[in-house]
Structure 1
Amino acid sequence: MAWQDFAPFTSSNIAAIRYDEEQLLLEVEFLNSTRYHYYEVPPQIAQAFDQAGSKGTFLASTIKGHYRYSRV
């Protein structure tokens, strides 16, 4: 996999986010150490997520419920 880490950010719930454009795979790690993979996320959505002012709000409104996911 060719993971790309998101730019550093501060969040009350999310620890890290990274994306694999080849596999259209988005990984979100929460501060409680749980990780989720979101599948078939287009590059433009990942880029918008990276640039979002509130990562939690973007995750809730644009990612959750829109893409298949699994806990890792």
Structure 2
Amino acid sequence: MLHQPVQSTNVLSVGYDDRSSTLQIAFHSGSLYEYTRVPAEVHTALLAAASKGGFVARHIKGRYPTRKLAG
């Protein structure tokens, strides 16, 4: 999955697959998480958010099935 670098102190990059509604988030800490069943509009809102880390904490973590891939 291709990742797009983002400006954030917490989030390094974000990848999204429209076909499977899968979101991947890489953190500066080295962790990589995959979230499934994420609507495309949530991905779009994440990219537009002033605080990427805050958006992840408020709107993604704990809301979608999650798998830790690295870190």
Shorter-normalised TM range: 0.7 to 0.9
1:19 aligns with 2:7: no
Q: After superposition, give the CA deviation of every residue in 1:14-53 in whole Å (9 maximum; x if it has no partner).
A: 1111100101000000112210000100011111111111
Question: Scaled by the length of structure 2, what TM-score is found?
Answer: 0.87
- Say how many residue pairs are matched: 69
Instruction: From 13, 33, 37, give the equivalent of 2:34.
Output: 37
Equivalent residue number for residue 49 of structure 1? 46
Q: Which runs of 4+ in 1 moved over 3 A?
A: 3-6
- TM-score, structure 1 normalization: 0.86
Q: Which amino acid aligns with 1:21?
A: D
RMSD: 1.3
The letter for the 2-side match of 1:48 is: A
Instruction: List alignment gaps of at least 5 residues for structure 1.
Output: none
